[in-house]
Structure 1
């Protein structure tokens, strides 16, 4: 798979490095070592296609003024067999590069050759990566934090796969520990209240108050009646959890699938306890001198995790904490299953847990740099300019499924990936449902549908997209044509940067830019014209744009409609 933007960057770096070496050889510059050459896209179009500030970076080493260094480098450049047409020195010493139009035409040839694979690159080289996301407690419905984490995690996984990584999507089922105990107590209390009346038992102060708890027990009673009313409490809670938990998980799976999120692995926390991995991990920490016992409990030393406080691993009742299980879970990811890189998506409220988990990995002898955590901020839903908390359909708190039903899966996924994960997200429900160019996902989908309609109409007149080998692409000379092709050429690089930064929001911005460039081209250039050669070239450009928009939307798991009402 080809990345023409990256190829050009590498050409520029090679040309600059060779020029500096030549200048050193001719003693125009003193001997110096250059680690890397930063290549950027200038903000001003008049400053060329790419730029480097290398002359300013080496001023102290070269002991000359930056502009003088830049002019020396330019003088020693050999541009043969490159996409570079000319080089200028600007301002205090920037070196600006203007490219030959050949790279634009080569871009269209690459798109025509790679088709649905265009944009796929290989910086991952098959490296095994796990992306763990959502992992909501299976004790209730999915909330907005889960929804945003689902969209972000799913798109990060897709981007990494497109960048050449071997990706596994995983959901951790928190089916052990305190929250399950609380779940059982809540179910038990509702069961007794439904049979004996609300005064028969006080509902746990920290219990789960959701209507789903009551509904579970109503359904249970329809089948089993009051046969468990006199059963031992522990046995009863176990039965209730075994009844309700799979139903909650099934509802979570259905909700996520309606949202376009599917996992390769649903990993049960219970398996860590049953396989003794929690106990083994605790023993390893003990053997490494990372723990201390006091007050009848086992603690991880604060010094291990850079804290002035110890963290409890096993309570004085002998029950491991969630923190202990989480350490064992991450050890399982790296050592048992052999992942080279692990990425977790957590809500911003877990910020303090990141350093603790990385330090815990280091304590086990696992490189903490192999663990990355993407923290994402909260979502606020707005309707009619006011914060929306209730579903229009149910009148209850808005769940993921309510949101998908109200504005559609495409809008939800697009909007949740429209901003960087670390930014707060204000989700405008009215805008997301609007069928107009103000709605960014509609704007992009409309561009794709417009192209498909155009090609279908032209095909009905007996004209189809030609073989690119039979087309003179050099006829594409208009500014709008070149700006559009330039934007299409950037797609593989956008995938690369998104994979390196774990920020798929770049792609939603990018595809909006593609749609904008296409609409500008469409308004300025007639495709079906008298000049057949020009028409063929423009058909290639239009079809290439369709390919790129669809490829981006496919990567984001958003539909690319061929017609819109």
Structure 2
């Protein structure tokens, strides 16, 4: 319908670009156009303006032409002009019923499109450093990347999800130093203290530093690993244990020049492929991979391809040599820098004056490997907003080096996430919130809510079903809470708000879906076929009409969300739909009472057209909520 209205507006106005939007206030119709105001603003004849012509008059002239279009009037009920010159359109009831029929027939495919049909897309998401664990901030990256992947696939694209593991460098060597010294059973620090690592005093850290000698410790570890703690000794997930070694190693690095020297020695030995250093390095990374896989499975994350910095870091300098010959790079004060003047971008260092490479050299190499292995139409990087300039520079350099056109590369940026009343999180200091920790807390709160609310449901659920329900609700709480905010807006996360069954939350939408399924189960019989509703003489009440007018916008919201990489638009729509359905549910009886004198009598006999219609509305609401939440990476419980 939207495309047809745009087509007709183009025909009557002669304009090539028409913007049609869905008004937030339903009083202004199903669609609204501001073309009259745009035409008036472009009017060059000042005499026309002085004679009293205004946008409202221009809009009236356009509407008169629209009303004369026989094709348009087949599905438009009315067209009105509203100040200061908007043209508003209302669809006919038959069109709304036809939309309901499409939902019933297409089911989970309703809203699917082919706008990205045939497109191959590589999307990178969730590449946290392996020496720590997945944090709350990483979840925003993950949920954004996964939801955009789902939306792209729903819109016809073939998406490959990849990640890069930054498994080498000074940060990893701080972890190695931390493990060799703080995990030693002779360190003088007890397990209880390690579990409360954030509170370990500076004096205790300095006492470990005084006894440190990384090579001697490593030799002893190689000979007899039983003298060192492993994650099982701490009863921790392996990546949670790794976080302890990294945080304590980083604190020691900051406190002591001697530790800094030792860590750099470890890095040098690693680069020389010292077999003992690589041995402990592989052990720590194996713990990391095991822990990360558990969390990824918990949150429903997928990676189809994983790249490792340790396998690629030696490459990339050939691009610098080629770039120097082509003028892509230039020498400056002993360093090699970019040459981005024609892109109106600030230049950045590629090779430092001491000969060491910056991360751009690695990224150029990785990008070339991606392009070589996956001949995609679009490459997406899900990375924080603070890296925006860097990615503009990197994409421009890729174009200069003829790796691809800038439009083939996209930075899917997002802002920070903090707790309400809290500050920015910093891993090195240990003042962080682990993803598993917050999921555990949400699951605990969910158990309490279920325990205090629906005893009948709990009695019918097995232990596994109850456990699965808790996990679904808790994950919906955090996912929806992080996705409902525009991606470039800072989030101030509130756990209690996210888990609430009232208001704009994931559990609220899950509850609404479960309500629709409860109604349909009570009907316990085949409702009237939707095709029988076409041409119905039912008089729609306000709430029924609002639902119908909301349904038709679902495919458009999907398209808008995917084109703008904005899953929050889908969140807003689903919340609005849930509110409208719950108002409808509260104000109107869906199932008529059948006075048979028997319990558990199916609502199938003598069903009125009104009941059949309302059951169809209920089914359609449930289907759209289920599909929309699936695209956000959220499962829906049938009972709640």
Same fold flag (TM > 0.5): yes
Q: In the alignment, which residue of structure 1 is the partner of 2:407?
A: 369
In the TM superposition, residue 465 of structure 1 has moved relative to its aligned partner by 2.8
Cα distance in structure 2, aligned partners of 1:499 and 1:164: 11
CA RMSD of aligned residues (A): 3.2
In the TM superposition, residue 416 of structure 1 has moved relative to its aligned partner by 0.9
Cα distance in structure 2, aligned partners of 1:325 and 1:250: 26
In the TM superposition, residue 210 of structure 1 has moved relative to its aligned partner by 8.4
Cα distance in structure 2, aligned partners of 1:203 and 1:89: 78
Residue 396 to residue 474, structure 1, CA distance change in 2 (3 Å): farther
SS of match in other structure, 2:16: coil
Cα distance in structure 1, aligned partners of 2:373 and 2:337: 24
Q: Is residue 135–residue 172 contact of structure 1 (8 Å, CA) maintained in 2?
A: yes
**Pick from 91, 105, 113: which aligns with 2:105?**
113
Q: 1:428-443, aligned counterparts within 5 Å?
A: 428-434=494-500, 436-438=501-503, 440-443=505-508
Q: In the alignment, which residue of structure 1 is the partner of 2:526?
A: 464
Q: In the alignment, which residue of structure 2 is the partner of 1:405?
A: 440
Q: In the alignment, which residue of structure 2 is the partner of 1:81?
A: 71
Q: Is residue 629–residue 636 contact of structure 2 (8 Å, CA) maintained in 1?
A: yes
Unaligned runs of 5+ in 1: 1-7, 21-32, 217-230
In the TM superposition, residue 67 of structure 1 has moved relative to its aligned partner by 3.7
Residue 15 to residue 351, structure 1, CA distance change in 2 (3 Å): closer
**Pick from 572, 584, 589: which aligns with 1:521?**
584
Cα distance in structure 2, aligned partners of 1:283 and 1:194: 50
| TM-score normalised according to structure 1 size | 0.82
In the TM superposition, residue 401 of structure 1 has moved relative to its aligned partner by 0.9
Residue 286 to residue 98, structure 1, CA distance change in 2 (3 Å): same
In the TM superposition, residue 34 of structure 1 has moved relative to its aligned partner by 2.0
In the TM superposition, residue 515 of structure 1 has moved relative to its aligned partner by 0.8
Q: In the alignment, which residue of structure 2 is the partner of 1:71?
A: 60
In the TM superposition, residue 184 of structure 1 has moved relative to its aligned partner by 4.0
**1:272 equivalent in alignment to 2:350:** no
| TM-score normalised according to structure 2 size | 0.73
Of the structure 1 ranges 437-446 and 337-346, higher mean CA displacement relative to structure 2 is found in 437-446
SS of match in other structure, 1:58: helix
In the TM superposition, residue 553 of structure 1 has moved relative to its aligned partner by 1.2
Q: Is residue 305–residue 360 contact of structure 1 (8 Å, CA) maintained in 2?
A: no
Q: In the alignment, which residue of structure 1 is the partner of 2:138?
A: 146
In the TM superposition, residue 191 of structure 1 has moved relative to its aligned partner by 6.5
Q: 1:9-88, aligned counterparts within 5 Å?
A: 9-20=2-13, 34-59=15-40, 60-61=42-43, 63=45, 64=48, 65=53, 66-77=55-66, 78-82=68-72, 83-88=75-80
Q: 1:524-535, aligned counterparts within 5 Å?
A: 524-529=587-592, 532-535=608-611
Q: In the alignment, which residue of structure 2 is the partner of 1:346?
A: 383
Cα distance in structure 2, aligned partners of 1:311 and 1:406: 44
CA deviation profile, 1:138-191 (whole Å, cap 9, x unmatched): 111112221111111111111111111111111111124443444444445547
Unaligned runs of 5+ in 2: 189-206, 216-238, 247-265, 443-473, 594-606
Cα distance in structure 2, aligned partners of 1:43 and 1:347: 30
CA deviation profile, 1:81-100 (whole Å, cap 9, x unmatched): 34212223333433222221
Cα distance in structure 1, aligned partners of 2:177 and 2:113: 51
Q: Is residue 10–residue 16 contact of structure 2 (8 Å, CA) maintained in 1?
A: no
In the TM superposition, residue 214 of structure 1 has moved relative to its aligned partner by 6.0
Cα distance in structure 1, aligned partners of 2:340 and 2:531: 67
In the TM superposition, residue 411 of structure 1 has moved relative to its aligned partner by 0.9
**1:239 equivalent in alignment to 2:279:** yes
Matched length: 514
Q: In the alignment, which residue of structure 2 is the partner of 1:254?
A: 294
Cα distance in structure 2, aligned partners of 1:38 and 1:309: 38
Of the structure 1 ranges 285-294 and 256-265, higher mean CA displacement relative to structure 2 is found in 285-294
Q: Is residue 340–residue 370 contact of structure 1 (8 Å, CA) maintained in 2?
A: yes
SS of match in other structure, 1:76: helix
In the TM superposition, residue 431 of structure 1 has moved relative to its aligned partner by 2.6
Q: In the alignment, which residue of structure 2 is the partner of 1:225?
A: none
**Pick from 513, 533, 558: which aligns with 2:634?**
558
In the TM superposition, residue 420 of structure 1 has moved relative to its aligned partner by 0.7
Q: In the alignment, which residue of structure 2 is the partner of 1:200?
A: 211
SS of match in other structure, 1:562: coil
Residue 345 to residue 474, structure 1, CA distance change in 2 (3 Å): farther
Of the structure 1 ranges 180-189 and 439-448, higher mean CA displacement relative to structure 2 is found in 180-189
Q: 1:74-473, aligned counterparts within 5 Å?
A: 74-77=63-66, 78-82=68-72, 83-190=75-182, 194=186, 198=208, 199-201=210-212, 212=242, 234=270, 235=274, 236-273=276-313, 276=315, 278-293=316-331, 298-301=336-339, 303=341, 306=344, 310-313=348-351, 316=354, 319-365=356-402, 366-382=404-420, 397-407=432-442, 408-434=474-500, 436-438=501-503, 440-459=505-524, 463-471=525-533, 473=536
Residue 527 to residue 310, structure 1, CA distance change in 2 (3 Å): closer
Q: In the alignment, which residue of structure 1 is the partner of 2:226?
A: none
Q: In the alignment, which residue of structure 2 is the partner of 1:496?
A: 559
